[in-house]
Amino acid sequence: MKKFILSLLLVFMAAGSSLAQSYPFTPIDTAFASTNYLLLPPGFQFSIVFQQGQPVVLSNGSSRPSRGVNDFIMYVPNNGSSTNGWLFINHETADSNTFLGDGGGATTMAVTKVGNSWYPTGPFKHMNFAHIGLTRTNCAGGNGILANGNILTTEEFPPNSNVELFNNGAGIRDTTDFGGYKKYLNFGWMVECNVQGDTALRKMFQMGRFSHEAAQVMPDGRTVYLTDDFSGGCFFKFVANTFGDYTTGQLFAYKQVGNSGTWLPMPMNRDSLNNARTVAQRLGATLFIRLEDIDMDASGNIYIAETGADSVDLSSFITLGGVVANHLVPKHVGSNRYDDPYGRVLKLDPVTLGLSVLVEGGTASDGKTNFASVDNIQIDRARNIIYLQEDLIAGTRGRQPSYITSSSNWVCEVYALNLSVPNPTVNDLKRFANFPKGAEATGGYFTPDYNNFFINVQHPASGNGAPFNVSTTVCITGFPPLVGIEGEGGSVPKRFELNQNYPNPFNPSTTIKFSVPKDGNTAIKVYDVKGQLVKTLVNQRIIVGNYSVDFNASELSSGVYFYTLEAADYKETKKMVLVK
């Protein structure tokens, strides 16, 4: 009988393990033949939401053809909805345009889902950056949605001079000084934007100037992880002084220390921030080869795409003081050159600061899975699956089948990996999508229920024929519904919730977690036993989500305190104890 029970348990354990590593689609099995269409698994379909050249409305009311090179996508839900919200789409351009403004930019639109298809419900809006000195090369963006519903867009590949910025008249033509600095120093920053408006808000100088690729905004309302798309680039973190207000704070650079790491505080004067990467290298920051997109799983682990590059010389950055990341040491080929043709996905434990490789790029044993140059990533936190989107840096060395020789015929793919797979390799990847010839797969972003996947078909070959002969934003549907799963990290909150602070009792700091079920003004306030307000921790518009805020009581006396969650039609109070 005991043997029977043990056998039954083993069967259930095996079944549970298989379920934990399952996928919501049947993988595509192809011979990598170039195609001019978007290939998806059986039962999946896409709807076209927006395309290069469609008319966009400018702030003066006129309309012009939109830019292309669609890159970053951010879906901002209305009150947590997975069927109604706003899209923000970056344009990774740096050209001259008399009507839209020189450089790059973004397009926003209200969208809704009808059946299995998504449609714009209003005009495509061109975002105006003129009053902040324009923008350029707006790239991935990551998961840059702030608690108030604003988003962060990135400026990649900052120019090194006004001559480079001007680009013989084909770039940004007005090179007069801006904000007291040479014009080229106005590019290479994060930019805060209101997705529902048509005007950018501000450049985030406090987050440093480097080749910004992506940002991961954390639920604490203060922390933002930042990637640097540069061979010899660094990994950064910004911590705001106040929940929801990212205009002031401290920038840090990551330094790997054995199996752990540390954050190096950066000088916060503008001249240092103008050269953030160089300053970080001089402080001894860790060097990477083109960090790209970034995302977080349901447990709070951070995942980072590292594209890699063919034989790059890191000598000058090492001389400055930068230290090559541990996982790149085996890539050394002499004279401080590092050969990293396939790239990988990295995993950061934000508590221990240990950095490890999740999966390396390369060719699988089937000879058909050629995973290289990962660019964008997006995690389905409900199913624990990461989607890996390619941007091939070359077609040689097994990054494409040998018979594909022209870049206009390159095939980029989207692979999926269940994060519960132990020690995964390229053999564990499942092919989710084959993109049209010449196109990158960029900007993948899920709705809160993880059943709608927005993604860009970026710069496809012009000879493909419609619709995939211009940059195109689509939404992929067909994912099997998940019962009880409706949002980020597990669920969209259905009610206000104020958790007990932890630790409690505390000295001098503690963390308060809270949930907001609808968009609106929300406050977290602390009172003493006499009912006197001693600290306002949060007081702003917040969109639907789960958040946390830190309370530092170092200036207060020991005793009992009360903290409240206040909204327009809700108020809840809990008690905490400060013991010094």
Share above pLDDT 90 across residues of the chain, in percent, rounded to a whole number: 85
Per-residue pLDDT averaged across 161-182, rounded? 98
- CATH dotted code for 492-578: 2.60.40.3080
Residue 554 has pLDDT above 90, yes or no: yes
pLDDT at 169: 97
Strands (E), 341-452: 344-348, 355-360, 362-363, 370-371, 374-380, 385-390, 413-418, 430-434, 440-446
pLDDT tens per residue across span 354-407: 999 999 999 999 888 889 999 999 999 999 999 999 988 888 898 887 778 787
* Three-class SS state of 428: helix
Neighbouring CB atoms inside 10 A of 415's CB total 24
pLDDT score for 404: 80
> Where are the CATH 2.120.10.30 domain residues in the chain?
23-37+46-77+84-481
State how far Cα 296 lies from the chain centre.
9
Q: Which CATH number fits domain 23-37+46-77+84-481: 3.60.90.10, 2.40.10.120, 2.120.10.30, 3.10.150.10?
A: 2.120.10.30
Q: Which pLDDT score is estimated for 394?
A: 87
447 Cα distance to chain centroid: 14
Q: What is the pLDDT of residues 394-420, one digit of tens each?
A: 888 988 877 787 877 888 999 999 999
Q: Which helix (H) or strand (E) holds 281?
A: helix 276-282
Nearest-Å Rg of the Cα atoms of the chain is 24
Tally of residues, the chain: 580
Specify the pLDDT at position 62: 96
Strands (E), 98-148: 103-114, 117-120, 125-126, 141-143
- Residue ranges of E strands in 140-259: 141-143, 151-154, 190-193, 200-204, 212-217, 223-228, 231-233, 235-242, 245-257
Contact 24, 428 (CB under 8 A): no
Interior angle at CA 179, CA 173 and CA 183, nearest 5: 30
pTM of the model: 0.93
Give the integer Cα–Cα distance in Å for 38 and 35.
8
Beta pairing class for 440-446 and 453-458: antiparallel
Asked if residue 2 has pLDDT above 50, the reply is no
- Spatial CB neighbours of 39, under 8 Å, sequence gap ≥ 6: 28, 30, 433, 434
What count of other Cβ atoms lies within 10 Å of the Cβ of residue 59?
13
Locate CATH 2.60.40.3080 in the chain: 492-578
Q: Residue 358 corresponds to which tokens in the numbers above?
A: 């999740």
Separation of alpha carbons 32 and 30, rounded Å? 5
Is the pLDDT assigned to residue 33 strictly greater than 80?
no
Model confidence at 315, in pLDDT bands (50, 70, 90)? Answer: very high
pLDDT at 402: 74
